């Protein structure tokens, strides 16, 4: 029997670890599985746990308003030690590139527990973009004893860093497992979806927007807001922009300041995952700087304009569903207008692709943990 501890802190970690948590908890004969929340996010984390009906075993409850990287990192390392002391995990599973994943991995190393890294090997090779995530995942990659790389390219990045090849598997990304599971649970009669239907005009083309990257704070967000305002004004009769605004005050403040008075821009609270999947499906196109949304949208056949200069997810760019537009106001306007008014350009970008997986990543990860084998999903 192996003791497995999954540590999660933010919305995307919860979404992408949810199907793995559910499957591992069902395998009592092989694993004693527990979940530890750092609660780096609070409301946005709890939304996901409620939707997937996940109960945590430990909750460090660490989020502070407008927290900073330094204190959050040290708070996690300090607060998680007693959890490791009590549960004595054989494996600590961390996800991706957040402060939670890197601090939990480092603390696990200090406590003598082995670390398995889910969504390993993503790189932009620019340590300032995304900041601090590129450095976080590189550090976690150095600590980890097992690497679950979503794609061939992410495995190759690890091999190039001289990570031992027998510790790396290509599993696909659990984001697709989560999306497939999430779609089966969407209830069109849920309060949030019913409310969305009452405020959105679904006869118009819906542009769904999300954004929260630290490197875009300040001028970047101001440029993005200017672009969205022009797009909304130019296309007043047939476009509606829906923007569930991230709770980070560095995002809330500029977005509310620049966009709250435009009638065809709807600024709303972050949506629960159920409503967000529903809204992605209803959207004409998506403008985002999110990592997870870049992975989900190609599966749904939705074109994505990514407000970043570099991406650690080149697969969807290569497949043609994702285009990098940075935070240049004019570029965001030009590319959006083209997709709104040029049917050929739209059709080219809206083909369905699944470059990130087939929905079986969690089964592969569980087989690897059980048998300590290497898997090469192509
Ligand atoms: C974090 C991750 C980022 C991930 C993002 C997902 C790091 C360094 N960043 O960034 O990689 O893409 O989450 O959304 O780990 N807040 C709330 N309630 C919430 C969540 C956030 O009020 O449920 C506010 C708080 O004021 C908090 C602030 O947002 O202090 C920032 O949260 P934080 O997790 O530090 O940064 P994110 O920008 O969310
Ligand atoms: N998401 C959500 N509600 C929202 C916006 C996004 O549930 O209002 C989901 C989205 O489907 C994706 C994940 O949150 O799975 C992405 O999280 P985020 O953009 O915050 O972080 P990133 O992926 O950039 O790390």
**Relative to the CA of 44, which ligand 1 atom is closest?**
23
Mean pLDDT taken over the chain: 96
Q: What is the mean pLDDT of residues 289-300?
A: 94
Q: Which fold has domain 2-172+360-371?
A: Rossmann fold (3.40.50)
Look up the pTM and report it.
0.97
Ligand nearest to the CA of residue 15, numbered in listed order: 2
Q: Which fold has domain 190-350?
A: Rossmann fold (3.40.50)
**Relative to the CA of 9, which ligand 1 atom is closest?**
34
Q: CB–CB of 57/25 below 8 Å?
A: no
Please tell me the predicted confidence (pLDDT) of residue 373.
86
Place of tokens 């409301």: 43
pLDDT confidence tier of residue 354, bands split at 50, 70 and 90 = confident
**Does 161 qualify as catalytic in the annotation?**
no
**Does 192 qualify as catalytic in the annotation?**
no
In whole angstroms, give the CA distance from residue 306 to residue 287: 6
**Does 371 qualify as catalytic in the annotation?**
no
* Cβ-proximal residues to 72 (8 Å cutoff; 6+ apart), any chain: 40, 62, 64, 99, 103
> Residue of the nearest CA to atom 13 in ligand 1?
10
Q: What is the mean pLDDT of residues 180-189?
A: 96
Where are the chain's structural domains? 2-172+360-371, 190-350
**C-alpha of residue 69 to centroid of ligand 1, in Å:** 10
**Does 97 qualify as catalytic in the annotation?**
yes
* Cβ-proximal residues to 73 (8 Å cutoff; 6+ apart), any chain: 99, 102, 103
Ligand nearest to the CA of residue 67, numbered in listed order: 1
**Relative to the CA of 133, which ligand 2 atom is closest?**
25
| Tens of pLDDT, residues 134-152 | 999 999 999 999 999 999 9
In whole angstroms, give the CA distance from residue 146 to residue 334: 43
> Residue of the nearest CA to atom 9 in ligand 2?
273
**C-alpha of residue 42 to centroid of ligand 1, in Å:** 9
Q: Residue 33, CB half-sphere, CA atoms under 13 Å: how many?
A: 22
**Among 339, 336, 302, residue whose Cα is nearest residue 322:** 302
pLDDT confidence tier of residue 378, bands split at 50, 70 and 90 = confident
Q: Is the dihedral of CA 56, 62, 65, 70 positive or negative?
A: negative
**C-alpha of residue 1 to centroid of ligand 2, in Å:** 34
Residues with CB under 6 A from ligand 2: 11-12, 15, 210, 212, 244, 270-271, 273, 276, 290-293, 296
**Does 296 qualify as catalytic in the annotation?**
no
Please tell me the predicted confidence (pLDDT) of residue 325.
97
- pLDDT above 90 as % of the chain: 96
Distances, alpha carbon 325 to alpha carbons 63, 74, 307, 332, 336, in Å: 32, 35, 5, 6, 10
Ligand nearest to the CA of residue 133, numbered in listed order: 1
Asked whether this chain's domains 2-172+360-371 and 190-350 adopt the same fold, the reply is yes
| Tens of pLDDT, residues 4-58 | 999 999 999 999 999 999 999 999 999 999 999 999 999 999 999 999 999 999 9
Question: Does the C-beta of 73 come closer than 6 Å to ligand 1?
Answer: no
**C-alpha of residue 144 to centroid of ligand 1, in Å:** 24
Q: What is the mean pLDDT of residues 349-356?
A: 87
DSSP per residue, 5-51 = EEEE-SHHHHHHHHHHHHHHHT-TTTEEEEEEE--SSSHHHHHHHHH
Please tell me the predicted confidence (pLDDT) of residue 352.
78
HEC letters along 290-314: CHHHHHHHHHHCCCEEECCCCCCCH
**C-alpha of residue 111 to centroid of ligand 1, in Å:** 26
């Amino acid at each position: 029997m192996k003791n497995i501890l999954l540590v999660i802190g933010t919305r995307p970690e919860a979404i992408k670890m949810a199907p793995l948590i559910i499957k591992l908890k069902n395998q009592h004969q092989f694993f004693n599985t527990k979940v530890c929340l750092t609660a780096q996010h609070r409301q946005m984390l709890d939304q996901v746990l409620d939707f997937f009906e996940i109960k945590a075993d430990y909750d460090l409850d660490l989020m502070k308003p407008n927290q900073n990287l330094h204190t959050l990192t040290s708070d996690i390392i300090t607060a998680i030690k007693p959890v490791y002391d009590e549960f004595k995990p054989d494996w600590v599973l961390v996800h991706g590139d957040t402060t939670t994943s890197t601090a939990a991995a480092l603390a696990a190393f200090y406590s003598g527990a082995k670390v398995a890294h889910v969504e390993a090997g993503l790189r932009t090779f620019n340590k300032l973009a995304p900041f601090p995530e590129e450095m976080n995942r590189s550090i976690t990659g150095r600590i980890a004893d097992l690497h679950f790389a979503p794609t061939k390219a992410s495995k190759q990045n690890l091999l190039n860093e001289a990570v031992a090849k027998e510790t790396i598997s290509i599993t696909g990304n659990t984001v697709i497992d989560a999306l497939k599971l999430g779609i089966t649970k969407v209830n069109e009669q849920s309060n949030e979806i019913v409310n969305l239907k009452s405020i959105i005009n679904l006869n118009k083309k819906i542009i769904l927007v999300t954004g929260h990257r630290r490197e875009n704070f300040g001028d970047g967000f101001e440029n993005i807001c200017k672009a969205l305002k022009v797009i909304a004004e130019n296309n007043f009769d047939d476009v509606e922009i829906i923007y569930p605004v991230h709770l980070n005050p560095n995002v809330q403040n500029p977005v509310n300041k620049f966009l709250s008075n435009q009638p065809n821009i709807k600024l709303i609270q972050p949506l629960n995952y159920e409503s967000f999947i529903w809204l992605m499906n209803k959207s004409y196109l998506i403008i985002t700087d999110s990592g997870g949304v870049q992975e989900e949208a190609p599966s749904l056949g939705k074109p994505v304009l990514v407000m970043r200069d570099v991406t650690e997810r080149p697969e969807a760019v290569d497949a043609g569903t994702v285009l990098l537009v940075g935070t240049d106001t004019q570029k965001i306007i030009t590319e959006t207008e083209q997709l709104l008014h040029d049917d050929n350009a739209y059709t080219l970008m809206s083909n369905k692709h699944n470059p990130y997986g087939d929905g079986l990543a969690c089964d592969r990860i569980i087989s690897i943990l059980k048998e300590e084998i290497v898997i090469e999903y192509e």
